[in-house]
Structure 1
Amino acid sequence: MAANITESWEKQSADHQKQYKQFLQRADKNKVLKRLPDLNEEAFEKIDCLQCGNCCKGYSPRFKTTDIKRISKRLKMKEGDFINTYLNLDGDGDYVAKTAPCPFLGVDNYCSIYEDRPSDCSRFPYTDEDVLLKRQQLTLKNSTFCPIVHFVLEKLIAEK
């Protein structure tokens, strides 16, 4: 059973941002990519996302065209109505949720569209794929609000 999130990880992550940045810039890509599946699994065993929900409370995924089609079908809405009701275009031209927390997040941190959630949500926090290294700024940002990213980075740094 996954443990509750400890309070200290957020401060530790904030204190370690410089260390994370240096690690990501210098990391042995092949070595890190080999370790990610196991570290990702270990993190998800130790940390219960339903105790946190920071990703859904403060940030929005991109809603790609395929996501919009799938979710609006699930909600029995026309795509245009779904977009008008729930989404805005951001500065990059991506559809994102109009509100934070995500309109599909329940008070229990469960997602009401979980099976059909956007691909960004199903992939988050990218701790089992090369995005962790390829998009370093994103990884650093994610480490400030996601204990899983913090956990994986701490483990990788400890192993080097």
Structure 2
Amino acid sequence: MAEDLLHNWEKKAAERQKEYARFLKRAEKNKVLKQLPDLHEEAFEKVDCLQCANCCKNYSPRFKTPDIKRISKHLRMKEGEFIDKYLNLDNEGDYVVKTKPCPFLGADNYCSIYEVRPSDCERFPYTDEDVILKRPHLTLKNSTFCPATYYVLEKLLVAK
């Protein structure tokens, strides 16, 4: 069943954006939040991020001040140096990587700063927290490139 669900998921996710949007808008928050931990875990039993890495290849996390401090220290760089070398300010005033794919993504899809990665990376794709409902625009976007987000939304739709 899960393999069928994930087969051709990009096309299916694109086709179901309106349905996902309606669901996220009307979802019973407490009912959904109770389901998320198990669905999140189930999704990651089926999806191997190292086979995908779409998030690292096409998007950037926000680098918050604690992330910048931690990562620059890990890289033995001054914070300003780290920012100049790797980051830009986006139109929302957040620091994001200058290049895509992420400069810390290796050819093997492993992250070279995994242990100190930005909190956005650690939390992504937010399928085990209320962000999935609080930021529906982000959830919809994530469902178009993250098979785990797609999987969780599909399972939520079936369970409603």
TM tier, smaller = over 0.9
Residues 143 and 150 in structure 2, CA contact (< 8 A), matched pair in contact too:
yes
How many pairs does the alignment contain?
A: 157
Whether 2:50 is the aligned partner of 1:50: answer yes
Aligned partner letter, 1:112: S
Q: Secondary structure at the match of 1:63?
A: coil
Give the gaps of 5 or more residues in structure 2. none
2:70 maps to: 70
Q: TM-score, normalised by structure 1?
A: 0.96
RMSD, matched Cα:
1.2
Aligned partner letter, 2:106: G
Give the gaps of 5 or more residues in structure 1. none
Deviation of 1:6 (Å): 4.9
Alignment of 1:1-160 (within 5 A): 6=6, 8-160=8-160
**Percent identity over paired residues:** 73
Residues 67 and 119 in structure 2, CA contact (< 8 A), matched pair in contact too:
yes
How big is each residue's C-alpha offset from its partner over 1:13-35, in whole Å with a ceiling of 9 and x where there is no partner?
00110110010011010000000
Runs of 4+ in 1 over 2 A off after TM superposition: none
Q: Secondary structure at the match of 1:22?
A: helix
How big is each residue's C-alpha offset from its partner over 1:34-91, in whole Å with a ceiling of 9 and x where there is no partner?
0000000000001000000000000000000000000000000000000000000000
Q: Secondary structure at the match of 1:60?
A: coil
Q: TM-score, normalised by structure 2?
A: 0.96
Q: Secondary structure at the match of 2:88?
A: strand
